[in-house]
Amino acid sequence: MEEMKGQQCIFCGKKTLTLMQDELDIPYFGKVLVFSMKCENVDCNYVKSDVEAVGIKEPCKVTFEVKDKKDLNVRVIRSSTSHIKIPAIKLDLRPGPAAEGYVSNIEGVIERYKKVLEGRRDTTDDSSERKSLKNLLKKIWKVQCGDIPIKIVIEDPTGNSSIISERAVIEKLKVKR
């Protein structure tokens, strides 16, 4: 892990940015650069994390079926340019400048999503929304117990994302122009 303090923040322009980067070697994928940025300027608080594959990658669509609890440990590389979908639990993580990139596993992806839903459940004034969030969270809990099989799809026009398993189906993504 390399840490560089006092970098210029791309958001506020002050030299208060700390950049951390690390290189991981992921079997069946290759080297991945993992980095995070955090601006120490309290008026700015810019944070960003992302991953980038070392070397040229093709636009990809990766599909994986989670059949049991063990499959939740399968590694996921998620870059900010990827679109992740788990239709069974209405998970739809879109790409964009605010999207976080990280290396985790399927469980980790679900766990992050769960936290967002829990936050919404605890703050909403709409009782029907709260009810549907509660039901969705119950379903996610069953998924986490391995009781409900799910399908996870990642599409990434930069090819910087993947699901690391022999059973993952990797196709070339047709990029819309």
Binding site for Zn ion (CB under 5 A): 9, 11-12, 39, 41, 44, 46
Q: How far is the CB of 21 from Zn ion (least distance, A)?
A: 18
Strand partners of residue 169: 63
Q: How far is the CB of 7 from Zn ion (least distance, A)?
A: 10
Residue 21 and residue 31 in contact, taking contact as beta carbons nearer than 8 Å: no
Choice between 9 and 84, CB closer to Zn ion: 9
Residue 40 and residue 18 in contact, taking contact as beta carbons nearer than 8 Å: yes
Choice between 3 and 125, CB closer to Zn ion: 3
Q: How far is the CB of 16 from Zn ion (least distance, A)?
A: 6
Residue 84 and residue 94 in contact, taking contact as beta carbons nearer than 8 Å: no
**Four-CA torsion 28, 113, 141, 73, nearest 10 degrees:** 10
Q: How far is the CB of 13 from Zn ion (least distance, A)?
A: 7
Instruction: Give dist(CA 72, CA 149) in Å, integer.
Output: 10
Sheet with 30-39, strands from edge to edge, namely 2-7, 17-26, 30-39, 47-53
Choice between 17 and 76, CB closer to Zn ion: 17
In this structure, what DSSP letter does residue 71 have?
Answer: G
Choice between 7 and 132, CB closer to Zn ion: 7
Q: How far is the CB of 35 from Zn ion (least distance, A)?
A: 16
Choice between 41 and 104, CB closer to Zn ion: 41
